Chain A
Amino acid sequence: MNAFDLLGFGEKGWGPLLLKGTAMTLAVTISAFVFGAMFGAIVARGKLSNSFLARAAGDVYTTVLRGVPDLLVIYLFYFGGSQLLSTIYQLATGDKGFIGINAFLTGAMAVGIVSGAYQAEVFRGAYLAIPRGELEAARSVGMSGWTMFRRIVAPQVLRFAIPGLGNVWQLALKESALISVTGLTELLRQSQVASGSTRQPFVFYTAAAALYLLLTSLSTWLFNRAEATAMRGVRRA
């Protein structure tokens, strides 16, 4: 069988499964990115806060998660999560059960928490890029905290954050390949299975690389479009 039959959509082709894996990669990356946006927003708020404790906590979060391998975080969530749940279960029921946890959820959480550290820095930078005068003006016309956030801060933070978020998204997309170690059948895991059963690893890993390349190129294009749209009202120097 040649490579085209193997990768195709015919009877013995792995095409449909590889596409399913690609869809899973996208799904887990999107979930991770959304988790990351939530953590990132909270941590960025902490880092910008006047309270020393909140700033320190934010700094610890970003330093730790950018200094520790992502694979280790995934292991910690996957094995540690089931260790924790099993201990609770054993204490509660008294028998010696073992609880495995969902690979999608732990993978998305782990990659999301790492992504949150990077997104926090992006959001912080974007907030600092808002001209101070605009915040002052909003206060002086009597806007309350929430109104000011909704009308002045959020739209501009999102606008300035787009290029940085694009980079963080690419990181998350590539990190999602590590979730394959937990057995989640995303793109890389699917190619592993396929190369195992056909003994054609080169063909399938090349296919996986090409599909990842397609995803990253498509996202570059989308983020460029988004940036152009968001910046259309901004006068450039």
Chain B
Amino acid sequence: MDFAFYTEVIVRLLGAVPTTLELAFVSVAIGAVMAVGLAMMRQSRIAALDMFARGFIFVFRGTPLLVQIFLIFYGLSQFPAIRQSWAWQYLREPYFCAILALALNTAAYTAEILRGGLQSVPFGQVEAARACGMSGFTLYRRIILPIAIRQALPSYGTEVILMVRSTALASIITLMELTGVAQKINSETFRAIEVFICAGAIYLAINFLLSRVIMALEYWLTPHLRAPKIAAAPATNGVAA
């Protein structure tokens, strides 16, 4: 075992972790906002909005993410009109294109997860809320969203973990995140097995931590599903419970 080599590789790989996390969290955040919009379009009874959201979701879930990244990063540069527009300063940046593609991709998946959550809200609850005089935003904030979010959280957790995995694709358009750095070390040292296993272990650690956070969130959001606490024994230190 060549510990000096492993230490060096792991230190260099850890240096790329912030980029990976940044890619994942920024795109997940933007994707979540877009997903709310898409899910609301799907729920709205306006045919044009519904069709648009359906089409968007169909295309982004039915094609590989790498094709979407290439289409945005390489494809758009084909048009002189885009190269001369204000948008070009962003669209020529691999970082921006990677975030855009990841966000659009996760928006499509998340919209369907959200829609599933919204559909799981029992109609009686909405009816009862309306009968109490709640409407619009209050109804969403107090009744619909809490139920829908609880329902959607496990699938959403899986989607966030999938997004951390997907950030690896950004390395193909030259971005130096975790996989990009691993590939660079591999091409310098030709020790593929060691380098990629180290990188895999780091991804695994990130996703393990993330899954714990999501589990904690689930626990926190579902107090009504926990077993009731048995009344505590009288306090022994003289302080009232």
Contacts and interface: CB of A to CB of B under 8 A. Distances in A.
A213 B190 CA distance: 37
Interface stretch (B60-68, B89-97, B122-130, B230-238): B60-68
A216 interface: yes
Interface stretch (A64-72, A128-136, A139-147): A64-72
B62 A75 contact: no
Contact of A209 (B63, B166, B172, B196): B63
Nearest to B169: A71
B15 interface: no
Given A177-B64, A202-B76, A212-B63, A68 B70 contact: no
A203 interface: yes
Mostly, the B contact residues are helix
B63 A213 contact: yes
A83 to B, nearest CB: 5
Nearest to A214: B62
A205 B71 contact: yes
B161 interface: yes
A65 to B, nearest CB: 10
A90 interface: no
Mostly, the A contact residues are helix
Contacts of A178: 64, 66, 169
Interface string A203-227: 1011011001100110000000000
Contact of A69 (B77, B79, B191, B203): B203
Contacts of B65: 174
Interface in B145-204: 161, 165-169, 171-172, 179, 182-183, 186, 190-193, 196-197, 199-200, 203-204
Contacts of A205: 67, 70-71, 74-75
Interface residues of A, number: 42
A84 interface: yes
Contact of B62 (A63, A69, A72, A216): A216
A66 B67 CA distance: 22
A209 B58 CA distance: 12
A80 B199 CA distance: 13
A167 to B, nearest CB: 11
A79 interface: yes
20 contacts: A67-B165, A67-B203, A67-B207, A68-B165, A69-B168, A69-B169, A71-B169, A72-B179, A75-B179, A76-B193, A76-B200, A177-B64, A177-B67, A178-B169, A201-B74, A202-B76, A209-B59, A209-B71, A212-B63, A213-B62
Interface of A: 63-64, 66-73, 75-76, 79-80, 82-84, 173-178, 180-181, 188, 191-192, 195, 199-203, 205-206, 208-209, 212-213, 216-217
Given A67-B208, A68-B200, 8 more contacts: A67-B204, A69-B165, A72-B200, A177-B64, A178-B64, A191-B70, A201-B78, A217-B62
